[in-house]
Structure 1
């Protein structure tokens, strides 16, 4: 307050200083009076006055529009007793001595706040008709309120149920939230929220954030109850699921018994609890992954049958697990999910399975193999993936002048002593060769089963901004490509960034998907396929969208 509003701070501090002697005397007399009443009733308690902080006074003056005299005269008394029974005994004594202010009593012992804060709050009309606020709590509650649950470990050992249940909910919530920053932000928000207290049909109390709906209530009972929620009754009457609940209401959830029951994405528009939203998002994430696994499994089975490979033996054997590991997938489900989400094709996986089986049983696929030479020396195992119909054992290489990638239309050129050189049909060198030496041109086709790595180059044009290169790199990584070269430059006058990426991809049929993903990045407005040493070949630009 002194830093943000120094003038108001000085004014309030001066008013407090002027009124302090009178107020302190009143507070001392009130504390003595309370102690005397407790002594008469046999209640052991520590009673102390709580002077109001300057910020608290300022907040009430500005936010609630109350005069300084009314706020400053409102004194606070803290009562700390030995047990819960004494809390209520002290409350009864205070109410029997002074008249309580209607609507100012709160029982946070019976209904703790989300952060396990417990205390009895009440306001009474004290001596001289001045209002006095009382907080009544046990020592255990005071320790937790002042210093937090972590400092409360010694009490927790004696009575672990509440604290361990709260910590358990935090651990569960953290596991449901992948982003640690989101977890902390949501936790802070929920700790600061006011709450409503809802009753179950059995009379149990559930604390929910203000604005909570029957869906939030359902998820607070159990995750499955939330997932299967199809209706709700408030005080015995059916209400819409987006109804805002109020303290004291009794809510009953109508849950579906159908196996296909599922949460609705629309619920995310009105749930108030971050835990509810997290549960809904988690369900859809798991559902998408499950569907991707099933789709990937089915696609791989189809390709296994097409390749005349034993389905059960391959799926249950070690070969497929080895292939998954080579592709950096943790298990078969991860591989199936990648196939289902089109990060890798079933055809390329079949090629790796055949290669692995051929290493275990040499010659197994010899009759259907085409002899290839490595495309790049750094990838000795890579294959070109092109064949000439009716010929085998030909030396075939992809031309470096245009780096053809499936499904580019290609043409072959018979070289002198270096086999068949494969060019894109629109390659400038191919056009020259077809004009000068048409007799050396030969038709070539891409293989059905492709494996190895293919080199592609793209150039990206975008309005320069912080984080642009990082965002493009993230998309490359998500699409399982290996970047082998990057060039970037920015035109200072118009702030247009040009970025060229050279990369290897194991499944070139996904090149267009990668380029569309890059095109969706904020501030990217064009992306081109680049021919090394030649002109840019635009295959995706603004007009494609």
Structure 2
């Protein structure tokens, strides 16, 4: 409990002395034999260590003084639990741990810190990959320091931390020292966000009264597993466990993410779905021809990467709609013998856009492309705003014709061409592999229904058109599936595992317990086609604890 919860909390608060003390005390009780073995090994060399620390401190102090730098140099043996962790990580015993002493150089200001680093590196050879700049990029707990490892004066590995007095105080006292500096001043939004986890901790404590459940919840919410990887320049980046090169690419810049084609991990090429491991050195490979794929949303792990990917798709959809809207309006203007080029570059079309409560002509074109505004409506408003010498003949009120244009890959073909105005009906959620028809709506393009959808059978026959699935598509489609199952522990996990094995994602889930110790589960699944849905229904019907399964809108036992 202490090692899993309280010591990490002290670390997140930046209270270094408390973290070390908690770890050593917990270690003493958890493994007293190993604890005593390390204590004895340290005690055997105590005089030798003190002499070594004294000599190195003197060398560093004198060298810095020669360059006009006043510094406080400290040396210490690392705390017991950190030595034990190093033994486990490197699979060696205490006699083979050579860098159990660390030095700290404390100076006046940041400029002095970097100057001291340069002097130390000129004295002793730095060990590659061991330099970390936490001044330029502080840790989340506000810790700041320069870390380096060098080959010391006697050929030994030696760790050195370089920081200012203020940084040293915050490193030891944590948030308390930081707020002391901030007292009487407004705390910025970034700092409020940085310490939001404290509020989460209090909320968890108030909500959960069972101590075991509390500890389990804190470990899950506040200390999720992370991986730490390096850029080619040695910068450390932290990501949630399961992150991929796509997450890494978007952490650098959106453009790097958009054009990412692969990654070189530790010098070897890997696919984008590769799971990052702690210690990996990651180099992103880009191409100007690369564009994000919808699959990336399933591969990416971080919210930042997913947000950037979704934003890119939204921007692309808007651009396509603007282009389509322009084509539709141009065609309508030609039909009315109007000069489209004249109006598109005039203020009058902007007034038309404002008349539709839009901000710009681009917004107007996009809405025409989306099918939200018909070209006839645009011309109608134009005739009211045009000066007498530019009088436009008002068109007859006719129902807008469906304009057929290219849509996203994997959509529906209308007369052999994909259509950006096509959308799938929510009432029957048609899937590739099922017979379908199109229904022309007023100003909203074409809605695709299952051929036997009750709503399409009630509609006007004149508006029904032939459509077909684009067989080149590889997207996923939402479909409602309901089932009745036993209200037992682990049932939802069983259902989730069964669907996961079929590569089916649960987009939405609602569970309602019933008085008869059964539950009604209402899911929205993402499937590729009708065949995959049938397979899912079959698997669920043969799963123990599930009594009935049906596709929403159909009777139980049918789909």
Q: Give TM class, smaller chain.
A: 0.3 to 0.5
How does the TM-score come out when normalised to structure 1?
0.44
How does the TM-score come out when normalised to structure 2?
0.43
Which of these two proteins has the greater Rg computed from alpha carbons? 1
